[in-house]
């Protein structure tokens, strides 16, 4: 296991270095002049030249790349052209909202995936409904689910609050940045309840497609495992179908579902970026959208590096979990 962890760590570092190189080259190829945009339209050529020298933009390309890698490793993601403060500071302020949304979506996606996969494969009563959801649900994009949720459950039924993160103007902002937790830490459970109510629709919108994708893979794995020799042996011992499913089939079917779950992390964060714009959620998705509108290349690059790092780390953890779930796997 230690060899696997070391191997995954080395490959993770390699992928991240490649990602940093790609992001750096894309910034260099961008027609936007970051120094001119940062100083403003009224800046003089002398001011631009002085700022380029100060920021190192007049150095040779290899030296700028080495300095860029050094800065990224030390958490320096340049200055935002829009907010006029470090991109790392902006992301620290916006990331807790996105993390809270992503955690909620992962919990819902996990529950839905396991329910859809097991119910449709085990042919329980009503399994046809679950199979229909697996077939039809995957065609609904996250932004459409988000808009339908607002139209139906907010505008028509009034079951959920307005699309935003909280209804409280004076909601606590620390220490974790997660309203569901900070509300409890500050002795304000009403803030926590309100935050959960605001999370329901955006979490479902983000979780639906990953849940269906993982559920399909889990269903196929369970169906195949139910016809295997070791399951027939377990049945011959007099074990109930529930015991066979939980104790023998589910764990052996988890590897493929975990692999798909790791792949879906990238799609989930892509859904988060869209859903945050629809629900006016103050996370990195809305931050990225606002940065794109202003051609804020450093902010876009910083967000790309953050999301790429999360994706690589999550997939490395998924590989390790696969090995734990099925020791026969050699990665």
Average pLDDT over residues 278-304: 89
Q: Which string of DSSP letters, residue by residue, matches 199-234?
A: HHHHHHHHHHHHHHHHHHHHHHHHHHHHTSHHHHHH
Is residue 318 a part of any domain in this protein?
A: yes
Q: Take residue 182 and report the two structure tokens written for it.
A: 């900070």
Q: Are residues 172 and 311 in the same domain?
A: yes
Is 225 in the same domain as 135? yes
Query: Are residues 320 and 235 both part of a single domain?
Result: yes
Of the ranges 49-53, 81-85, 112-116, 191-195, which one carries the lowest mean pLDDT score? Answer: 49-53
Do 42 and 111 lie in a common domain?
Answer: no
- The arithmetic mean of pLDDT across residues 279-301, rounded, is 88
- As given in the structure block, the two tokens for residue 233 are 């042996």
Cα torsion at 177, 180, 186, 189 (round to 10°)?
A: 160
Helix (H, G, I), strand (E, B) or coil at 79: strand
Once rounded to an integer, what is the mean pLDDT over residues 225-233? 75
Per-residue pLDDT band for 200 (boundaries 50, 70, 90) equals very high
Percentage of the chain surpassing pLDDT 70?
Answer: 85
- Please indicate, yes or no, if residue 198 is contained in any of the structural domains: yes
**Pair of tokens at residue 241:** 């179908």
Q: Choose from 125-129, 224-228, 320-324 the range with maximum mean pLDDT.
A: 224-228
Same domain, 290 and 242: yes
Residues 149 and 284 in one domain: yes
Q: Are residues 155 and 249 in the same domain?
A: yes
d(CA 34, CA 37) in angstroms, rounded, equals 5
Domain boundary among 40, 73, 106: 73
What stretches of the chain adopt beta strand conformation (E)?
A: none
Per DSSP, the three-state class of 86 is strand
Q: Look at residue 199 in the predicted model and tell me its pLDDT.
A: 93
Statement to judge: residues 105 and 178 lie in one domain: yes
How many CB atoms lie under 10 A from the CB of residue 145?
Answer: 21
20, part of any domain: yes
Specify the pLDDT at position 202. 92
Is the domain of 8 the same as that of 143?
no
Residue 40 falls inside a structural domain: yes
Number of domains in the chain: 2
Residue 46 and residue 97 in one domain: no
**Predicted pLDDT at 1:** 64
Q: Are the beta carbons of 326 and 269 closer than 8 angstroms?
A: no
Pair 51, 183 in one domain: no
Q: Which of 73, 104, 123 is the last residue of a domain?
A: 73
How far is Cα 184 from Cα 206, in angstroms, rounded to an integer? 25
> Which of the four pLDDT bands, split at 50, 70 and 90, describes residue 312?
confident
**272: in domain:** yes
Question: Do 291 and 201 reside in the same domain of the chain?
Answer: yes
β-partners of residue 86 are 79
Nearest partner of 183 among 200, 199, 198, 196, judged by Cα? 196
CATH number of the domain that 195 lies in?
1.10.3720.10
Only one residue has tokens 């079951």, namely: 159
pLDDT the model gives residue 192: 93
Beta bridge partners of 79: 86
Evaluate whether residue 86 is within a structural domain.
no
> In the structure, what pLDDT confidence band is assigned to residue 125 with cuts at 50, 70 and 90?
low
Phi, psi angle pair for 79, to nearest 5°: -100, 140
Does 319 reside within a domain?
yes
| Rounded distance between C-alpha atoms, residue 302 and residue 78, angstroms | 8
The rounded distance, in Å, linking the Cα atoms of 289 and 29 is: 21
Among the listed residues 308, 329, 309, the one whose alpha carbon sits nearest the alpha carbon of residue 319: 329
**Residue 187: burial class (beta carbons within 10 Å; 0-12, 13-18, 19+):** exposed
Among 73, 101, 125, where does a domain finish? 73
The residue segments making up the domain with residue 7 are: 2-73
**DSSP per-residue string spanning 233-261:** HHHHTT--HHHIIIIIIHHHTHHHHHHHH
Quick: pLDDT tens for 132-159: 666 666 667 778 888 888 999 988 888 8
- Contacts of residue 184, Cβ cutoff 8 Å, sequence gap at least 6: 192
Higher pLDDT, 161 or 325: 161
Output the pLDDT for position 100. Answer: 92
Q: Residue 8: which pLDDT band, with cuts at 50, 70 and 90?
A: confident
Residue 78 lies in a domain: no
Distance CA 5, CA 1 (A): 6
The per-residue pLDDT for range 243-271, each reduced to its tens digit, is 777 676 777 777 777 777 777 777 777 77
């Amino acid at each position: 296991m230690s060899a696997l962890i070391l191997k995954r760590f080395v490959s993770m570092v390699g992928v991240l270095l490649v990602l940093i190189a790609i992001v750096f080259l894309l910034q260099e190829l961008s027609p936007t002049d970051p120094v001119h945009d940062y100083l403003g339209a009224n800046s003089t050529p002398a001011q631009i030249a002085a700022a380029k020298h100060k920021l190192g933009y007049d150095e040779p390309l290899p030296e700028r790349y080495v300095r860029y890698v050094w800065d990224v490793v030390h958490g320096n993601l340049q200055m935002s052209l829009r907010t006029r403060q470090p991109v790392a500071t902006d992301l620290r302020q916006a990331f807790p909202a996105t993390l809270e949304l992503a955690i909620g979506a992962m919990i819902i996606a996990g529950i839905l995936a396991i329910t859809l996969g097991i119910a449709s494969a085990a042919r329980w009563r009503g399994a046809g409904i679950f199979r229909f959801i697996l077939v039809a649900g995957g065609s609904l994009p996250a932004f459409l689910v988000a808009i339908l949720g607002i139209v139906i459950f907010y505008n028509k039924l009034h079951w959920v609050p307005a699309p935003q993160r909280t209804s409280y103007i004076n909601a606590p902002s620390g220490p974790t940045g997660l309203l569901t937790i900070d509300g409890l830490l500050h002795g304000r459970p009403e803030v926590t309840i309100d935050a959960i109510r605001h999370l329901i629709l955006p979490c479902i919108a983000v979780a639906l497609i990953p849940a269906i994708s993982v559920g399909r893979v889990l269903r196929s794995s369970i169906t195949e495992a139910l016809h295997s020799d070791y399951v027939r042996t377990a049945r011959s011992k007099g074990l109930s179908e529930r015991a066979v499913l939980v104790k023998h089939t589910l764990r052996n079917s988890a590897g493929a579902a975990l692999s798909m779950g790791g792949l879906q992390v990238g799609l989930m964060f892509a859904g988060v970026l869209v859903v945050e714009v629809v629900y006016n959620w103050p996370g990195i998705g809305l931050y990225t959208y606002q940065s794109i509108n202003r051609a804020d290349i450093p902010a876009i690059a910083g967000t790309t590096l953050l999301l790429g790092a999360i994706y690589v780390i999550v997939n490395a953890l998924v590989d390790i979990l696969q090995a734990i779930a099925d020791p026969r796997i050699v990665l």
